[in-house]
Structure 1
Amino acid sequence: MSRRFPSRLRPLLTALLLVLLGYLVGTGQRVVVRPPLVVGQDAAYPGARAVATLERAPQPFLDIRPVGREADTLLVFYPGGFVRPQAYEWLGTALAGRGVRTVIPVFPLDLAFTGTGRADALIDRLGAGKRVFLAGHSLGGAAAAGYAARHAGRLSGLILMGAYPAGNVSLRDSGLQVLSLLAERDGVADAGEVRGGLARLPPDTRLVVLPGAVHSSFGRYGPQRGDGRPTVPRAVTEAQIFRAVLEFIAEP
């Protein structure tokens, strides 16, 4: 025999259900409705200049180009999960003066796993005659590693930032040059997982630890839930990231 819920508690139950519904709607809206992509809003880097535009074909991507010179290197960058491409424009700006053209795809819901193969069209269109590198932060790094495992021959190198290949992905015998950047105080990408991921990367993979840095130090998108607390200024970490990436892509 069914038992009716006491009438005096029905208003409380209704209120709790409304709060839960509001939370779910609000959370879903934040995921589906992404913040605007504003080019150049927070992309300055000391002593660097670049031309940045939002392109629409073959799919939307942020295009960051050198000023007054042709690029000899193409860097395709996969953003972290739910992070807008503009958060990494600073790195493209910094590299532009060194002859690097950086392109950052705009993924549905800002999740690189919704279009792991988008590097293909960008490399086809912009990579002719250039050295081509693929980079990714966090979940974007895992997606980039997956692409690199399938298309190592299209790339000159892979750069992982607070990221590691998925457990079923191995680049061990790919012959690809790989740079792995680990933030010392990262509270999102576990250091043990990042170091453990080296077993699925080529033996000569270069690991660079960024002292005092955290997961969100790689992009300009603000604090991140669960992340550590940085003990060095952002400018210091960004200079270390820029230097490590530049040294890596400058090698023959």
Structure 2
Amino acid sequence: MQKKRGRRVLKAIVWGVVAVVVLGIAGVVGWSQIGVMPAEKAPLASVRENPAIHVEDAEQGIVLAPADGDSELGLVFIPGAKVDPWAYAPILQSLAEEGVTVVITRPWLNLAFFDLRGLDSFTSAAPDIDHWAVGGHSLGGVRACQLAADAEALVLFGSYCSNDLSDTDLAVLSISGSEDGLSTPEKIDAARALLPADAEMVQIEGASHASFGDYGPQDGDGQPTITDEEMHARVAEILDAFVADLPQS
């Protein structure tokens, strides 16, 4: 009798643990789908109507490529937490215009730290390209730092690394905003030592955290004093100069 009671208690404990785990997973999945910030329609329309680039909604992600197909350099770009990947197409389209193929990933559960796929899961979208950079915005940038060992360059938008890349020969571009209320200038500075000494650090005056994507305002962010058009032009100028120095043959 006592053994039966013990088995019932053990069974109840096991099922209780299973229930907690299932509820926990369901909670995380549910939370990851709530509050996703969608891409703004007007900037995205400009991408779709751009005759200089080819846009593909591929299995590996959103692919922006030169319309003439002539591309020898690629960038895998990882979105910030709960941001629609399409929101980064407008600010990255200038790279495709200049001959760089861009693959914007779709992180699992809309959160980069849940996505454990390697860089080759995304570079397979353009198998003929031999030279790849990796980048990301906010949490996506943190994940990009973790994948940087398999790339030749790293591009950070309003982000910083949590792993140490200071002893690598990686080409690094970090673009931040003076009005960023999330990846603040202080946080960017505090993590500077984790990047190579020759990393290019550029702060855009008037840019906020959400200035790096076209998805509207974000809770906790600062107030931008730069227009979206000015931001796109400034980022395009910085990116174009950076990639011009990367190997492309």
Q: TM-score, normalised by structure 1?
A: 0.78
Corresponding residue of 1:137: 137
The Cα offsets for residues 167-196 of structure 1, whole Å up to 9 and x where unpaired, read as: xx1001111010111101001112111111
Q: Does structure 1 retain, via aligned residues, the 8 Å contact 2:74–2:129?
A: no
Equivalent-residue separation in structure 2 for 1:42 and 1:248 (angstroms): 24
Corresponding residue of 1:87: 87
Equivalent-residue separation in structure 1 for 2:68 and 2:213 (angstroms): 26
Equivalent-residue separation in structure 2 for 1:134 and 1:177 (angstroms): 11
Corresponding residue of 1:231: 225
Equivalent-residue separation in structure 1 for 2:155 and 2:116 (angstroms): 15
Q: Does structure 1 retain, via aligned residues, the 8 Å contact 2:80–2:140?
A: yes
Count of residues in Structure 1 that have an aligned counterpart in Structure 2: 219
Shift of 1:92: 3.3
Shift of 1:223: 0.3
The Cα offsets for residues 32-69 of structure 1, whole Å up to 9 and x where unpaired, read as: 2686988986332697732212112xxx4111111123
Shift of 1:29: 4.8
Shift of 1:126: 2.2
Q: Does structure 2 retain, via aligned residues, the 8 Å contact 1:187–1:215?
A: yes
Deviates more, 1:235-244 or 1:128-137: 128-137
3-state SS in 2 of match to 1:65:
strand
3-state SS in 1 of match to 2:119:
helix
Deviates more, 1:68-77 or 1:125-134: 125-134
Does structure 1 residue 244 correspond to structure 2 residue 228?
no
Alignment of 1:119-198 (within 5 A): 119-124=119-124, 126-148=126-148, 151=149, 154-166=150-162, 169-198=163-192
Q: Does structure 1 retain, via aligned residues, the 8 Å contact 2:71–2:129?
A: no
The Cα offsets for residues 68-114 of structure 1, whole Å up to 9 and x where unpaired, read as: 23211101000001111101111332211111110011112211112
Write the letter of the residue equivalent to 1:131. Answer: H
Write the letter of the residue equivalent to 1:213. Answer: A
Cα RMSD between the aligned structures? 2.8
Shift of 1:118: 3.8
Specify whether residues 128 and 51 from structure 1 end up closer, same or farther in structure 2 by C-alpha distance, changes over 3 A only.
closer
Deviates more, 1:103-112 or 1:137-146: 103-112
Which of 30, 48, 52 is the equivalent residue of 1:49? 52
Specify whether residues 74 and 196 from structure 1 end up closer, same or farther in structure 2 by C-alpha distance, changes over 3 A only.
same
Specify whether residues 192 and 36 from structure 1 end up closer, same or farther in structure 2 by C-alpha distance, changes over 3 A only.
closer
Write the letter of the residue equivalent to 1:171. Answer: L
Specify whether residues 202 and 105 from structure 1 end up closer, same or farther in structure 2 by C-alpha distance, changes over 3 A only.
same
3-state SS in 1 of match to 2:121:
helix
Shift of 1:146: 1.4
Identity of aligned residues (%): 30
Unmatched segments (≥5 aa) in structure 1: 1-24
Q: Does structure 2 retain, via aligned residues, the 8 Å contact 1:39–1:52?
A: no
Equivalent-residue separation in structure 2 for 1:121 and 1:247 (angstroms): 27
Specify whether residues 127 and 159 from structure 1 end up closer, same or farther in structure 2 by C-alpha distance, changes over 3 A only.
farther
Equivalent-residue separation in structure 2 for 1:101 and 1:202 (angstroms): 25
Specify whether residues 42 and 116 from structure 1 end up closer, same or farther in structure 2 by C-alpha distance, changes over 3 A only.
farther
Write the letter of the residue equivalent to 1:31. Answer: S
3-state SS in 2 of match to 1:222:
coil
Q: TM-score, normalised by structure 2?
A: 0.79
Corresponding residue of 2:5: none
Deviates more, 1:205-214 or 1:45-54: 45-54
